[in-house]
Structure 1
Amino acid sequence: MGAKYWTFNAGTCRIETVGLTEKQPKGSEGNTECDCNFENGTVCHIATLTLMGYSLPGLLPPQLVKLPYLRKISVLVNRLSGEIPKELGNITTLTDLNLEANQFSGSLPTELGNLVNLQTLMLSSNQLTGYLPETFSGLRILTDFRISDNNFSGTLPGWVQNWKNLTRLRISDTNGPNQEFPLLRNMTSLVRLVLRNCNIAGEIPAYVWSLKNLEML
């Protein structure tokens, strides 16, 4: 991922050095966490990978699929570019994927719809295009979905009704014709709803004001 300095201590399962310089940038965070509950506590696997705020260039390596017990990936606030690797869809243990504030481009891989354990998917502030893949309808335990500040097209599809556990939905700056307010009636757990610059026309449906948990619209 473009890091010039990289030191990983396998004994402690910790990143000791990472970045473009030896000095860690202010506000950055490099961290791994391991799960050692394998083979009676004799084998550890990386479960969490965090590389935040390093301005790392390059691509997100598809070789991450070789870490089959990953639960969380967070690489926000870097300069990673290219397409999101479709291979991430094979890491079905993932519960949290945060790729915000990078330079990813292209369409969303349909394979991400295989991540049935995913609870948070954050892709805001990139250069992504295209439409939401229908395979995402299977992400039924999502609680937080953010794709604002990209270049997506089209309307919010009706199958988002499957996301009944969603508490946060943030979409903005979509391209395409005017559309009615999307059908979100089943999202009774919504706390924050942002649909900015999405070419929505007409009235906000009455049921929205009946969402008891909604704090921000």
Structure 2
Amino acid sequence: MLPSLKVLLLTSCQLNNSPDSLVHSNLTSLETLDISFNLAPKRLAPNWFWGLTSLKLLDISWSQFSGPIPDEIGNMTSMVELYLSHNNLVGMIPSNLKKLCNLETLFIHDAGINGSITE
């Protein structure tokens, strides 16, 4: 579909549903995905954007996402900035977050999750 696309900004677009998966959209070069401020409740599905391993920035803040953070987050090893704040997430901070060795910025305040970040 768009194999050369590097930045996709869908901030405040009133998205009220999400595709089953972005991986099948051939967004293999995507480095920035911002879907913040889309206030329609939705569950974080493991197959949605977690397979986009080239992502360096993911912002899903203020989007009323719910449920646990999928374990697939550990596959996003290129991630530098991750914004999860102001959602309705549940559970613990995933232990495989430690696999994100390039991560420099992590915003998880008021996200609904708890726990500690281990090395």
TM-score by length of 2: 0.83
Tell me the equivalent position of 1:125.
Answer: 37
**1:176 CA drift (Å):** 5.2
Give the number of equivalent residue pairs.
115
* Greater than 6 Å deviation, 4+ residue runs: none
1:180 aligns with 2:92: yes
Q: Deviations over 1:174-199 (max 9, x none)?
A: 2254x112230111111110012222
Does structure 1 conserve the Cα–Cα contact (< 8 Å) formed by 2:89 and 2:113?
no
Q: 2:5 aligns with which of 94, 117, 124?
A: 94
Does structure 2 conserve the Cα–Cα contact (< 8 Å) formed by 1:105 and 1:128?
yes
TM-score by length of 1: 0.48
Does structure 2 conserve the Cα–Cα contact (< 8 Å) formed by 1:116 and 1:138?
no
**1:125 CA drift (Å):** 1.0
Who wins on radius of gyration, i.e. which is larger? Answer: 1
Task: Give unpaired runs (5+ residues) of structure 1.
Answer: 1-89, 208-217
Q: Deviations over 1:44-103 (max 9, x none)?
A: xxxxxxxxxxxxxxxxxxxxxxxxxxxxxxxxxxxxxxxxxxxxxx32332210111332
Report the Cα distance in structure 2 between the residues aligned to 1:188 and 1:146, rounded to whole angstroms: 18
Does structure 2 conserve the Cα–Cα contact (< 8 Å) formed by 1:142 and 1:163?
yes
Superposition map of 1:1-217 within 5 A: 90-106=1-17, 108-114=18-24, 115-135=27-47, 136-175=49-88, 177=90, 179-183=91-95, 184-202=97-115, 204-207=116-119
The CA RMSD over aligned residues, in Å, is: 1.8
Task: Give unpaired runs (5+ residues) of structure 2.
Answer: none
1:112 counterpart letter in structure 2: L
